[in-house]
Amino acid sequence: MSTLRRFSEKDRAYFEYQARQEYIREQKTIKYEREQESLAQQKVIDALAQEKVKFIQEKAQAQEEKAQAQEVAAKIEQEKQVALAEIIELKALLAQQNQEK
């Protein structure tokens, strides 16, 4: 009977050891999966941050281009007003010359 008890105790100790090893493997797997998930999330966050920076840069550039276009339009409008004033002045001179003849 004592021999049987020793075998039984050894079997129980072996199964306890195996159960501990399996638990450790499971915990390592869970830890690894969490780390991989965390890395994937960090990659997504980094990609979104890069897209946000790119969007902000593009928006700033678009605003700068818009401001430049507005400046050009204002300059053209100013030149147009000068040209119209010259045309009016020239028409007045032409009318005056026609009246003198």
Measured in residues, the chain has a length of: 101
Which DSSP helix (H) or strand (E) runs through 41?
A: helix 2-100
DSSP 8-state code for residue 1: -
Degrees to nearest 5, angle at CA 55 with 51 and 58: 135
For the stretch 50-91, pLDDT in tens is: 999 999 999 999 999 999 999 999 999 999 999 999 999 999
Stated pTM of the model: 0.56
For the stretch 21-51, pLDDT in tens is: 999 999 999 999 999 999 999 999 999 999 9
* Structure tokens given for 86: 């010259």
Sign of the alpha-carbon torsion through 41, 47, 50, 52: negative
Check pLDDT > 80 for residue 6: no
